[in-house]
A and B are shown apart, each in its own frame.
Chain A
Amino acid sequence: MEAAVFILSLIDCCALIFLSVYFIITLSDLECDYINARSCCSKLNKWVVPELVGQAIATALMLVSLHWFVFLLNLPVAAWNMYRFIRVPLGNMGVFDPTEIHNRGQLKSHMKEAMIKLGFHLLCFFIYLYSMILALIND
């Protein structure tokens, strides 16, 4: 049981890592002018909800399996994703808005955010891996 939870989390975490990397690559493409803001934002906006769901699943799994520490670790990130999603103004085209992304250093802050998330997911990845191995051994 325990092992299954961590295997699921591990898979989820891998997906989130890939997503973070994808965000970083796309944003840096925009930074380097390889793609334009419109396509960049529509690409990224497509993955905002999957990311949010993925993070929510990982958080929920930890809660269900009563791993309080990992749960608390995941909670702020899940909450931030939610907050960011809800806070999008009516007139904007999503979390990433092509008309805003070049303003007020938004591009940079998005990039920073993606980097931090990547770091976080990597950390989680190893926690899950360790816990999974521990769980398998215990079994």
Chain B
Amino acid sequence: MSVPGFNPSPAAGFTRHPTPIGGAAPLCQNGAVQTYPSMHSQAGYGATHPHYNSAPGHYAQMPSKAPPVNNQYGMNYYHNNYQQPVQTTARPGMAPVFRAPQVHSSRPPVSSQAMGPTSNVSMSSASPLHTGPPQPGAYPASAGYYGSSMPLVAPDGTSAQGFPPHSALATVPSAANSAYPIVSYPSAPGSSQYGTLPSSQTSAAGHNLVGAGPIPSSVSTAPQAPLQQVPLGHSVTSSWPSSAAVSAPPSYSGSLPGTVAAVNSQANTVLPSAANRLDQSCQPPWMFGAVHPTAGSPAPGRLATATPTPPVSASLAQHEGADSSSTTSSASPVPSNYEALEGGSYPDTSSKLPPGPPVSQASKAAKPFGCGYPSLQPAYQQTSALSSYSTNSQSSNPSNPPGYQQDSQPYPTMNQLSAALGGLSLPAQQLEALRPVNLMQDRNILPSTEVQAPVPNLSTDLKKANCRSDSFRCTLTNIPQTQALLNKAKLPLGLLLHPFRDLTQLPVITSNTIVRCRSCRTYINPFVSFLDQRRWKCNLCYRVNDVPEEFMYNPLTRSYGEPHKRPEVQNSTVEFIASSDYMLRPPQPAVYLFVLDVSHNAVEAGYLNVLCQSLLENLDKLPGDTRTRVGFITFDSTIHFYNLQEGLSQPQMLVVSDIDDVFLPTPDSLLVNLKESKELVKDLLNALPSMFTNTRETHSALGPALQAAFKLMSSTGGRVSVFQTQLPSLGAGLLHSREDPNQRSSTKVVQHLGPATDFYKKLALDCSGQQIAVDLFLLSSQYSDLASLACVSKYSAGSIFYYPSFHHVHNPAQAETFQKDLRRYFTRKIGFEAVMRIRCTKGLSIHTFHGNFFVRSTDLLSLANVNPDSRFAVQMSIDESLTDTALVCFQAALLYTSSKGKRRIRVHTLCLPVVSQLNDVFAGADVQAITCLLANMAVDRAISSNLTDSQDAVVNAVVDSLSAYRSTTSSFQQSGVIAPYSLRLFPLYVLALLKQKALRTGTSTRLDDRVFAMCEFKCQPLQQIMRMIHPNLYRIDNLTDEGALHVNDSIVPQPPILQLSAERLTREGAFLMDCGSVLYLWVGKSCDVTFISDVLGYPNHASIQQNITQIPELETPSSERTRSFITWLQENRSFNPVLYIVKDDTSAKTNFFQLLIEDRTEAALSYYEFLLHIQQQISK
């Protein structure tokens, strides 16, 4: 298949989107190809356009930044867009297979944008798309995640693969790609905003073949797009769709011809203000019209160029595909490298490229990114819906591609119309998000698939370029203009970052000069504007900078003078190979030190065996190169060092019993090169478990052992893994038991949530200063004062693992979890001596940080180690009014040393619109991100004040924000709890939050459990936290293939998510609850015997063993389905959750039923009661 086909889809989607779980699955299977084209070109385009017309308000915002750009630039931009898609497609191969279905639907809109307004264009483009499915073969290699490091350097294959979850994904893509080039690309989300996507998904979901028929439906649904995740059922969608003018495409083609280059600038400036208000959509016709030109201008170019551009992208894609390993390489700008890398592959790709001229046209046509308008158009059309309008507009505005401008300008009446339509004119997404929901009446608000992040209301171009929501997420996707507005909304403004996430696709750039703003040091990103070829304007501080000579050359296209096409400007997530300017010292080697508790308690628990076994298995997979060093320290009441110097016949144990003044017996031979001393290390690991079996030492000198570790590591930095099984009882840092078991279920004050001593904090800061991170594994059956111990990891950027009542024999499930976690822990990627800086547009500032790190200065986080499983959060405040800007950007730049000793910078950039209306703020609220940030804030509050305060604060957050919303909808006088659709899950999530171990009172909770839950809130990725807070409940005794996903060769059923209420359970069923780190399988008493025998392998309910943690591999279809579903859930995250079988009469039942958070418990309200409580508070 020819590459071009790909482009459209890829551009839009990118890999970013989270996998939609929803039923789209079927799509995936089928070669989407056929469907695709049709969707895209014809139906998709046409349909979308008409709708969008109404939308204008939305778009207006977009342009604001764009204005400065010349027409030419605009053209270029276009180009860029095109290219991007290609690139993305190429790389991502892996992309989220699951998502594919959704993507599929979503794409049409995207493609439309890219393609240009005209139907013709779309058609042409579409065909290419089809033809050019990506080359699957090439991709797999690239899939390996990040491997792409230097072009020259082979990717870190091992490390990449090491990550279980990813690998699964990666594999998938290859298979999927061929069939569904598009599918893989999440790009869809962007489009989804505009509503088109969702509809398509839903409608299409069942059917791969979208065909023309599906399209209309999609259109209609389109408004909902933002809602994708949300059940389609909503009435809202239906109303919107009416407009759907499918026919639009043809008419448009005519309009395309004259692009108004000049228009752009004007339009842009005007727009921002107008755009901001949702409501205004009606009035602005003029403005919109103006806007459109900008959007439109690109369009003409596109038409002409449309075909050509795709080829280019195609070439890129191919190229990338060709050297799978070097995905990054393709991106790498440096010419010399580039060529060398490419070798034969490149020429081929180039040959595919269309002749130069077309490209140039395209470039002219394309708007500057700021404009992003082109993309907008489609959206508008959808909204406009009115077929008549669309026609008018077409005729009137030849130049303006999309419906919008046309409508408004030529027909002043539009205003009236729009006014009459009222809300209709608003972007569908936003409208839907604002739809008031009476929570007291609508019980079924929980979507049947996992909730997806809302897509910022941006132009398609920007959406395409924007950072994926799983790396970078903001609680408000519409940023309020002023602090006053933010205060009015009563919602927290903050960012959730997951910067070092395992990525399936990442452009890596090798360049002599890394282009940054000269005043604020922002890295160049897709949201800067190019004033002309030689100058760019920083999007954070607005300084105008020069474009360095080297940047003028684009290695991807091997062309000169197109700085806007460089990979840095095409992708919002990129990685640079840093030069020596970014090093304070030569990059450190990977150094791993293991500090093991070998007191009686530890030996009794038996963790040493599991640990040593796991480490032996993974010794070769530890990320690192030939310089990797390891060391071991064990401790009880004394500290034991191990001399592993090469040449010794066996490991030598050195005991230091002076714990008050720890010294290193032989400083040089304790940390040894892993490669050289591998045999000794293996000997030691084999011997360790049996060395202390008869120990009678019950004391634990953790503090001194940590001091020793610090001394040992301070010259290099690295990772210290501490395994502790009890309360430290000797030497510095000793702790006393502070827990009163009688107070575990107290409803009053919970004490001792904070550390008892500053020893561990000081040590952590010392470690952080020497680039040492301490990871803490606490395997304890008694109270161990995690609140104090955790400090050592919290401030040194480590991770905390906690295995309560760990015992290798008595608690096999826990042992299995430990083993699985270790496997992931040993093999996951790691970055050393890292710092992360978070920059934001002038006017915004960070005022609070959450996560494991040390804040070194106002925006600089010091991360001794960075791992792919930690998430950070920051709260923002608005210091200066943002009235003069329509977009704000956030950039997180993570500078780290890879395990291969390369200094790298990973840059994520997120762009969001600014709004001036309270309504818009609510429309853009991301309820999951808000809940997650709120959880972080609640933890802080609980520690610094007390638990009751913190609970009150959380409840008040709901009450305040809902009353603020109520005040904006004055027309609503009905009783009940009214929430905007975007926040409909807010009360539910908050209730769930209050029932978490971290924040609950009145239910017996061990202090360590509570503190650990708090630590989890602080550093777990958002998806994981959401599963912890609000687990997903599935019924799995009647799984069918309907709506199933196809991953690799297996079919993964997608049962709907049920509400967490006992009323959803029946004795006749079996239910699976996914709590993030644990899976519960509850088997009802009267559960179908065939299920029990076919899936669980037991003859009847009574004979089911409770301690099994795996579903047996049986040869029945239902067993296969169940297993593939559970495996899919497990592989979907970094750390594999353990499965518990819960029967009606087991002790695990309590845990299971406590998680049914909509039900009443003895200490907490049911969901309905909670709503009543909120209602009472609001009406006060």
Contacts and interface: CB of A to CB of B under 8 A. Distances in A.
B762 A93 contact: yes
A138 interface: no
Interface residues of B, number: 23
Interface string B842-885: 00000111000011111010000000000000000000000000
B791 to A, nearest CB: 7
B699 interface: no
Contact of A91 (B754, B854, B860): B754
Contact of B848 (A93, A98, A104): A104
A104 to B, nearest CB: 5
Contacts of B754: 89-91
Contacts of A37: 854-857
Interface stretch (A28-36, A59-67, A72-80, A118-126): A28-36
A37 B323 CA distance: 46
B847 A93 contact: no
Contacts of B761: 91-93, 99
A99 B855 contact: yes
B422 interface: no
A101 B855 CA distance: 9
A30 B859 CA distance: 11
A46 interface: no
Contacts of A93: 758, 761-762
B442 to A, nearest CB: 37
A125 B563 CA distance: 62
Contacts of B847: 103-105
Contact of B795 (A31, A89, A99): A99
A103 to B, nearest CB: 5
Which residue among A30, A92, A103 has the maximum number of chain B CB atoms within 10 Å of its CB?
A103
A98 B858 contact: no
Contacts of B857: 30, 33, 36-37, 102
B758 A90 contact: yes
A38 interface: yes
Nearest to B846: A102
A110 to B, nearest CB: 13
B858 A33 contact: yes
Interface string B749-764: 0000011111001100
Contact of B755 (A31, A91, A102): A91
B990 interface: no
A114 to B, nearest CB: 17
B757 A90 contact: yes
B893 to A, nearest CB: 15
B858 A31 contact: yes
Contacts of B87: none
A91 B788 contact: yes
Nearest to B766: A38
B755 to A, nearest CB: 3
A36 B769 CA distance: 11
Contacts of A98: 765, 854
A107 B256 CA distance: 56
B757 A91 contact: yes
B756 A91 contact: yes
A115 B542 CA distance: 33
Contacts of A33: 857-858, 860
A89 B944 CA distance: 8
Specify the main secondary structure of chain A where it touches its partner.
loop
Interface in A81-139: 89-93, 98-99, 101-105, 107
Nearest to B768: A38
Contacts of A31: 858
Contacts of B860: 33
A90 B769 CA distance: 22
Interface string B622-641: 00000000000000000000
Given A90-B755, A91-B754, A103 B855 contact: yes
B181 to A, nearest CB: 46
A103 B791 contact: no
Contacts of A38: 765, 769, 854, 856
B739 to A, nearest CB: 15
Interface string B715-759: 000000000000000000000000000000000000000111110
Interface in B159-180: none
Given A38-B769, A98-B765, A102-B849, A90 B855 contact: no
A102 B855 contact: yes
Nearest to A36: B856
Interface string B782-817: 000000100100010000000000000000000000
Q: Which of A33, A91, A92 has the most CB of B within 10 A?
A: A91
Contacts of A92: 758, 761
Contacts of A102: 849, 855, 857-858
B849 A103 contact: yes
A69 to B, nearest CB: 36
Contacts of A30: 857
Contacts of A36: 856-857
A30 B791 CA distance: 23
A33 B855 CA distance: 11
Given A33-B857, A36-B856, A103-B848, A90 B765 contact: no
A56 to B, nearest CB: 25
A93 B763 CA distance: 11
Interface in B405-423: none
Interface string B936-966: 0000100010000000000000000000000
A84 to B, nearest CB: 14
Nearest to A33: B857
Nearest to B937: A104
A37 B855 CA distance: 8
Residue of B755, B858, B944 with most partner-chain A CB within 10 A: B858
A90 B738 CA distance: 13
B752 to A, nearest CB: 9
Interface string B888-903: 0000000000000000
A38 B854 CA distance: 10
B765 A91 contact: no
Contacts of B854: 37-38, 98-99
B524 to A, nearest CB: 23
Nearest to A92: B758
A90 B758 CA distance: 7
Nearest to B788: A91
A93 B766 CA distance: 13
A102 B853 CA distance: 12
A36 B859 CA distance: 12
A101 B856 CA distance: 10
A28 to B, nearest CB: 12
Contacts of B756: 90-91
Contacts of B788: 91
A38 B758 CA distance: 14
B1080 to A, nearest CB: 35
A136 to B, nearest CB: 48
Contacts of A101: 855
Nearest to B856: A36
Nearest to B759: A91
Nearest to B877: A105
28 contacts: A30-B857, A31-B858, A33-B858, A36-B856, A36-B857, A37-B855, A37-B857, A38-B769, A38-B854, A38-B856, A89-B944, A90-B755, A90-B756, A90-B758, A91-B754, A91-B788, A92-B758, A92-B761, A93-B758, A93-B761, A98-B765, A98-B854, A99-B795, A101-B855, A103-B849, A103-B940, A104-B847, A107-B858
Interface of B: 754-758, 761-762, 765, 769, 788, 791, 795, 847-849, 854-858, 860, 940, 944
Interface of A: 30-31, 33, 36-38, 89-93, 98-99, 101-105, 107
Given A37-B855, A90-B758, A102-B849, 9 more contacts: A33-B860, A37-B857, A89-B944, A90-B756, A93-B758, A99-B765, A99-B795, A103-B847, A104-B848
- Give 10 closest A-B pairs by Cβ, nearest first: A91-B755, A102-B855, A33-B857, A103-B848, A36-B856, A93-B758, A91-B754, A104-B848, A105-B847, A89-B754
